[in-house]
């Protein structure tokens, strides 16, 4: 018979929540939460979705709820960014409220990336690697570099400055 409660494993200053395959007792993954969220999280039986999130029914509303939304008590429209990009790491130190622009900057490189980096491509004409960033569907070129690593480093530095400004509503970013 499948479990209807998750097992919580204490790991220092956070808990790991065992997530199970549907209709079995087999563990498929773990979600992470801050210690302060354990009592509230235990009210729900968490499962892993096909999209990689922890989800179940909110006992108060009967509607589907994602673990990171349940913990932060935010609406469906509010964007929560997982800083380390792990959808199951719902520790408070790893989550921040963000707009879609900041959240889109914090993504993994596309699977079809030839360089292995987001925002870096090989420029055939120059024989160098181009660093770029996309904001509001517009591409901004950051320069040409001898190696993909150097181009990626430049993009990351620019992105960090941009995210800092976006999070503080700087003008002229």
Q: Give the pLDDT band (50/70/90) at residue 50.
A: confident
Q: SS3 string of 6-48?
A: CCEEEECCEEEEEEECCCCCCEEEEEEEEHHHHHHHCCCCCEE
Query: pLDDT tens-digit profile of 9-18?
Result: 999 999 999 9
Residue-range domain boundaries for the chain = 8-98, 108-167
Mean pLDDT, the chain, whole residue set? 86
For 58, other C-beta atoms within 10 Å of its C-beta total 15
**Two structure tokens written together for 1:** 């018979």
Beta bridge partners of 138: 135
Q: How do 27-34 and 89-90 pair as beta strands?
A: parallel
Q: Give the pLDDT band (50/70/90) at residue 173.
A: very low
Query: pLDDT tens-digit profile of 104-143?
Result: 666 666 777 788 888 899 999 999 999 998 877 788 899 9
| pLDDT at residue 79 is higher than 90 | no
**Domain spanning 108-167, CATH architecture:** 2-Layer Sandwich (3.30)
Read off the pTM. Answer: 0.67
| pLDDT at residue 67 is higher than 90 | yes
| pLDDT at residue 2 is higher than 50 | yes
Of the candidates 26, 34, 6, 32, the one whose C-alpha atom is nearest the C-alpha of residue 18 is 6
For 95, other C-beta atoms within 10 Å of its C-beta total 19
CB 141 within 8 A of CB 164: no
């Amino acid at each position: 018979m499948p479990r209807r409660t998750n097992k919580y494993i204490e790991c220092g200053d956070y808990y790991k929540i065992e997530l199970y395959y549907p209709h079995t007792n087999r563990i498929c993954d773990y979600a992470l939460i801050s210690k302060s969220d354990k009592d509230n999280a235990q009210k729900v039986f968490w499962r892993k979705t096909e999209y990689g999130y922890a989800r179940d029914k909110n006992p108060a509303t009967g509607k589907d709820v994602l673990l990171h939304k349940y913990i932060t008590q935010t609406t469906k429209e509010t964007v929560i960014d997982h800083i380390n990009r792990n959808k199951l790491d719902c520790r408070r130190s790893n989550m921040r409220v963000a707009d879609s622009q900041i959240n889109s900057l914090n993504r993994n490189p596309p699977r079809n990336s030839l360089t292995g980096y987001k925002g870096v491509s090989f420029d055939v004409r120059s024989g160098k690697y181009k660093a770029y960033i996309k904001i509001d569907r517009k591409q901004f070129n950051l320069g040409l570099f001898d190696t993909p690593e150097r181009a990626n480093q430049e993009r990351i530095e620019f992105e960090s400055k941009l995210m800092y400004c976006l999070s503080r509503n700087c003008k002229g970013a």
